[in-house]
A and B are shown apart, each in its own frame.
Chain A
Amino acid sequence: DVKVTQSSRYLVKRTGEKVFLECVQDMDHENMFWYRQDPGLGLRLIYFSYDVKMKEKGDIPEGYSVSREKKERFSLILESASTNQTSMYLCASSFPSAGDPNYGYTFGSGTRLTVV
């Protein structure tokens, strides 16, 4: 069974801490993504990567950075956590071809981060 695994299901961090959220996929997918999900705001793209060491800003990259040193792993970094970064963080991966009818994202189970 193919998987996207996020390292923590729940996380509580203090304001100002540097936070690492890890995501690993075992499907040999080229593309990986980080979203945050907030009530009333839906899923918003933070960063994505279409290859090792490559990264692209999404719609809300401020306060975040990412790292992709290996194809299977995509890390989201909160440089200095703030309370407005309390959210559900979802990692996803996909193959490159959006024209394939079977193309779609595979999501991890999410990390619920609370910044206090």
Chain B
Amino acid sequence: GQQVMQIPQYQHVQEGEDFTTYCNSSTTLSNIQWYKQRPGGHPVFLIQLVKSGEVKKQKRLTFQFGEAKKNSSLHITATQTTDVGTYFCAISGGYQKVTFGTGTKLQVIP
């Protein structure tokens, strides 16, 4: 089945610095989703991107879908301690079955 590579695996940033996580696929994707999982919590859906070159913003979070629909990124501007957690990208296949990337664990140092 389809797979997606997510990098980096871990990222430590000073509060106020920016953060970016990337997802890459070898095949063209129909859509990509992003989730956030706080420590001790469960994944929470953030957004889905479906169009080539799409860019969406949620406050300090910017999501991009590549022109070729093979990669995506999540960028956080001026991180805060509330941004701590693991960010997953996910791709959907048949029956809306979703395959998750391995996640990027973000630690924000106050």
Chain A interface residues (CB < 8 Å from chain B)? 31, 33, 35, 41-43, 45, 48, 50, 56, 58-59, 90, 94, 96-110
CB-defined interface of B83-103 with A at 8 Å, one 1/0 digit per residue?
A: 000001010100111111111
Question: Do A101 and B45 touch (CB < 8 A)?
Answer: no
B interface size (C-beta, 8 A): 27
Of chain A, the residue at the smallest CB distance from B30 is A98
B31 touches A99 (CB 8 A): yes
* B interface list, Cβ under 8 A from A: 1, 30-31, 33, 35, 41-50, 88, 90, 92, 95-103
Across the interface, do A90 and B42 meet the contact criterion of CB distance under 8 Å?
yes
Contact partners of B92 in chain A: CB under 8 A: 98
With A42-B100, A103-B96 already in contact, 5 other A-B pairs whose C-beta atoms are closer than 8 Å? A33-B98, A59-B1, A104-B35, A104-B47, A104-B48
Contact B96 A96 (CB under 8 A): yes
Which residues on the A side are within 8 Å of B100 (C-beta)?
35, 42-43
Q: Which of A35, A56, A59, A99 is B95 in contact with, Cβ under 8 Å?
A: A56
- Look across to chain B and name the residue whose beta carbon is closest to the beta carbon of A95: B96
